[in-house]
Chain A
Amino acid sequence: MEASRTLDLSRWREEPHGVGYRRRVIATAGLRQLWRTRFFRVLLALAWTAGAMIAVGGFVFSQSIASGGWLETLAVRFGPRAEAIVAAIGGVVTLYPDICVRGVFTLLFWAHSFLGLWLSLLALTTLVPGLITRDRASNALIVYLSRPLTSADYLIGKFGTIVGVLLLVWTGPLLLGWILSMLFATDRDFVVYSSGPLLRALSFNGIALVTLSAIALGVSALGRNARLTVVIWICLWAVFGVMATNPRAPTWITRMSFAHDLGEVRQEVFRLDDVLATASAQLPVFDQRFTSNLATAGKKAEATDFGGALAALGVFVVGSSFVFLRRLRAE
């Protein structure tokens, strides 16, 4: 037996924190590692600038009905023609707040969903190898699973990291933009009629979150090589995305692009076609040509393969879940 030696060590006698805390630790550690990359910080700056742009857009729009407001004052400087345009817009918004507010905010959130999704996909490209791939490569799964954690806890923690990324890059700026624009809104109608588009935007955000999380976890669990994982992710996103834009591409090819499928879901959730059709039919201020253009744009914004896209996304989620659940074993 070993000769006597003394240890100088403090003891920990507290009850350990629960499983929720441990899952949160996994999620925040992933975010902290991502935060260290300059690329992610640039993405965040872009995302929150976009959020600020929503706030500015909403503010300018709400000023259109403010008597003596900032927009009216500005219009006076540009002469009677600008003043008349602003007054006309203000009149229409006052008369048809449901159509105008809903329409403008649907357009704002619809446009933001493109940027939000794109930034999220870029952020996930950086994050994907750090989810499961690196843990598998460095045998770190054993570190997690030999502790009071199950593979489900591990997955929930990693899912938390993806949720964190999407909240920071997409949902957060969206909500901030809306809240700020509502803070400066001149009428309660803005809050009432913009909440519908906001809910639609959040619904699309939620669908994208679930889909992207599953796909990202699945791709990350596929290999032990970070570069290979990024290549698979980019293939699934960009290569199939480009192939899906080809009008001659068969349906199964277009559905293999989750970006295309999410695009279809976006059109169905936001119902921009419905908004444009209502505006062209009910707003009296447009001439015939403008009305016809609006109707055409509405038709183009219509989802053409919503059912198929949703089914394809379902297949992606199930397939990815199968992959990451199969691969999540200590080796």
Chain B
Amino acid sequence: MYCPRRILHPTEPASLPPRLPGRAESDFIIETDRLGKTYGTQRALADVTVRVPPGTIGLLGPNGAGKSTFIKCLLNLETPTAGTARVLGRDTRVQQRASREKVGYSPERDCHIAGMAGCEYVTYCGQLSGMPMRLARQRTHEILDLVGMGQERYRPVDAYSTGMRQRVKLAQALVHDPQVVFLDEPTNGLDPSGREHILTLIGSLWRDLGISVVMCSHLLRDIERVCDRVIIIGHGRLLEHDTIANLKNRHRRVVEIAPAAERERFVTVLESTGVKVTALSNGKLRVESASDSIEWILQLMRAHRLPPAEIVANPDALHELFIKSISESHGSQPNA
């Protein structure tokens, strides 16, 4: 059954991801058990055991940490040397084709079929996933509209700019309406407006369509903005896996305040409560807070009639947590 275009009006609540009838419901989109991969004597992944629920998941790690190897093992592009992996409840080794039926993948490196126009390429990818030609073509145009491609879709992919190739890669990953999509550095090479557009789109995939996203990126701000859960991999090992909210709570609580005026009075008032205040060179104030809430700051501002200010709780929590996890893992670096 092919469902015609679903139009959500801006007033329509879009908080709950839609559940599609006929789709396999699984508690976890990814389940790995002691997953390992070695290249000769080099261990790329070691004992990765994780169960990831549906949602928008950020995959973090420094260069060479094993993020791409992890994704490739899940897609069976690399054969794991140890352990098992299940995607959407299907074992990637036993049910090779079936495990990838409802999965989309946008790799980091360019991948296109030479000589094909953008729309032809995306249609072809849809057909490779088993879509009938007519429907693949229809969804291709919808997806290309969605990723912000205009008439360029009729030009050969070989002639595309980096940004266009990034968009068409995302389109081919989404054309067959997957349940989970793996995006490896999806914003690489995009200009600021293009990046904004694609991040907004990625953020909407789970919320509006129920498509889980596993996004691999070096840009922590992008991950923090789009994802609700994070997996951190370092030296081939799983270092962290939790929701961003929980991770932030485990981190020391820091609030950044950017006062519109009267910065010195802000400092005096805050210090009078006994908290540590640091004045940053960019004009902001960094406050070490005792609680998760910023309500006490708002009350303080009201009581002392302070001017308005921009308040951001835990602004670099993910960054600091990432650095901390990686430096802690140095001691337990796996060797073959």
Contact = CB atoms under 8 A, between A and B. Distances in A.
Nearest to B227: A1
B107 A142 contact: yes
Interface residues on B, range: 35 or more
By secondary structure, the A interface counts as loop
Contact of B2 (A13, A21, A145): A13
Interface string B181-219: 000000000000000000111111101110000000000
Interface in A213-236: none
Contacts of B139: 9-10, 12
Interface centre among B8, B125, B129, B209 (most CB of A within 10 A): B129
Contact of B101 (A2, A25, A138, A148): A148
Nearest to A16: B130
Interface in A114-157: 130, 134-135, 137-140, 142-150, 153
Contact of A10 (B103, B114, B116, B142): B142
Contacts of B131: 12, 14, 16-17
B56 to A, nearest CB: 8
Contacts of B207: 2, 4
Contact of A25 (B75, B98, B110, B124): B124
B130 A148 contact: yes
A7 B146 contact: yes
A9 B209 contact: yes
B243 to A, nearest CB: 11
A10 B128 contact: no
Interface in B196-252: 199-205, 207-209, 225-226, 228
Contacts of B199: 2
Nearest to A226: B114
A6 interface: yes
A289 interface: no
Contacts of B76: 145
A44 interface: no
B6 interface: yes
Nearest to A2: B203
Contact of A147 (B3, B128, B204): B128
Contact of A11 (B101, B114, B177): B177
B128 A2 contact: no
A22 B176 CA distance: 13
B107 A139 contact: yes
A26 interface: yes
B97 A150 contact: yes
B10 interface: yes
A8 B7 CA distance: 5
B139 to A, nearest CB: 6
A238 B132 CA distance: 42
Interface string B78-103: 00000000000000000011101101
Contacts of B103: 146
B22 A13 contact: yes
Contact of A13 (B21, B146, B205): B21
A146 B101 CA distance: 9
B2 A14 contact: yes
A325 interface: no
A25 B137 CA distance: 14
B130 to A, nearest CB: 3
B77 A140 contact: no
A5 B105 CA distance: 23
A79 to B, nearest CB: 60
A12 B2 contact: yes
A85 interface: no
Contacts of B77: 142, 145-146, 330
Nearest to A8: B7
B12 interface: yes
A6 B97 contact: no
B143 interface: yes
A138 B177 contact: no
Contact of B5 (A9, A139, A145): A9
A140 B98 contact: no
B16 interface: no
B3 to A, nearest CB: 4
A33 interface: yes
Nearest to B9: A6
Interface string B1-33: 111111111101010000011110000000000
B132 to A, nearest CB: 7
Contact of B204 (A6, A17, A135, A139): A6
A199 interface: no
Contacts of B96: 150
A18 B131 CA distance: 10
A10 B72 CA distance: 29
B8 A1 contact: no
A71 to B, nearest CB: 49
A7 B130 contact: no
A10 B138 contact: yes
Contacts of A134: 113-115
27 contacts: A1-B203, A1-B226, A3-B200, A5-B204, A6-B10, A6-B14, A7-B204, A10-B3, A10-B142, A14-B135, A16-B176, A21-B127, A21-B130, A22-B128, A134-B114, A135-B113, A137-B114, A139-B111, A140-B112, A142-B107, A144-B128, A147-B128, A147-B129, A148-B98, A150-B96, A150-B97, A330-B77
Given A6-B12, A17-B132, 19 more contacts: A1-B225, A1-B228, A5-B200, A6-B208, A7-B205, A8-B5, A9-B139, A9-B209, A11-B2, A11-B20, A13-B3, A25-B128, A138-B111, A138-B114, A138-B158, A143-B172, A146-B105, A147-B100, A147-B125
Interface of B: 1-10, 12, 14, 20-23, 72, 75-77, 96-98, 100-101, 103, 105, 107, 109-116, 124-125, 127-132, 135, 138-139, 142-143, 146, 158, 172, 176-177, 199-205, 207-209, 225-226, 228
Closest 9 CB pairs of A and B: A16-B130, A2-B203, A6-B8, A148-B97, A146-B105, A12-B177, A17-B130, A139-B111, A134-B114
